[in-house]
Amino acid sequence: MRVFWIIIAIFLVCFYVISRIDLVPDVFPILGWLDDTFLVGLLIYYLRYRKLPAFMTWLGRLLFKRTPGRSDQTSGPRGAGGQRGQSGQPKNPYAVLGLKPDASREEIQAAYRELVQKYHPDKVSHLGEEFQEMAQQKFVEIQNAYDELMGE
């Protein structure tokens, strides 16, 4: 998020806390402060970690249902035929992990760990849905390639 939008968010949260218009009116002493405290806590969390908490993503998916026709994120390119590229040819697991065919087990494990850290769905949960789907597909490819290489 750019600095301008962060300043706007800080201003809006401060305005909400100070204003008399609330979800739960401040007339009720402790109950009225809960929504203010929640928003301030959410803002502090975002400023510290530069992403929203995971429950916000879950809440967004719950409130704004997926569009019809989208594939489920748990289904991937696994199947009886294994991994296939866009041309229908099987993908080379070494190419997926960015390794040479004569790589050792330690190199395979190191490359796997590095790519998993980069493309893990939890690492991109704050990005848009397109990036999340792309990362999910790449993550499944990485897992399949690692399983195939370590099974040998």
Closest CA to 93 of 37, 142, 128, 133: 142
At residue 79, the pLDDT reads 41
Residues of the chain scoring pLDDT < 50: 67-83, 87-89
Using an 8 Å Cβ cutoff, are 121 and 136 in contact? yes
Which pLDDT value is given to residue 137?
A: 87
Q: How far is CA 109 from CA 19, 49, 112, in A?
A: 55, 28, 5
Comparing CA positions, the residue from 119, 117, 92, 97 lying closest to residue 107 is: 97
In tens, the pLDDT along 105-144 reads 888 888 888 888 888 877 777 777 777 888 888 888 888 8
Residue 24, both tokens: 């739960």
At 37, the amino acid letter reads T
Phi-psi region of 7 (alpha: psi -120 to 50; beta: other; left: phi over 0): alpha
Q: Which of 68, 83, 85, 73 is nearest to 136 (CA)?
A: 73
93-151 to CATH, choices 2.40.50.840, 1.10.260.40, 1.10.287.110, 1.25.40.10: 1.10.287.110
Q: Please report the pLDDT score of residue 151 as a whole number.
A: 76
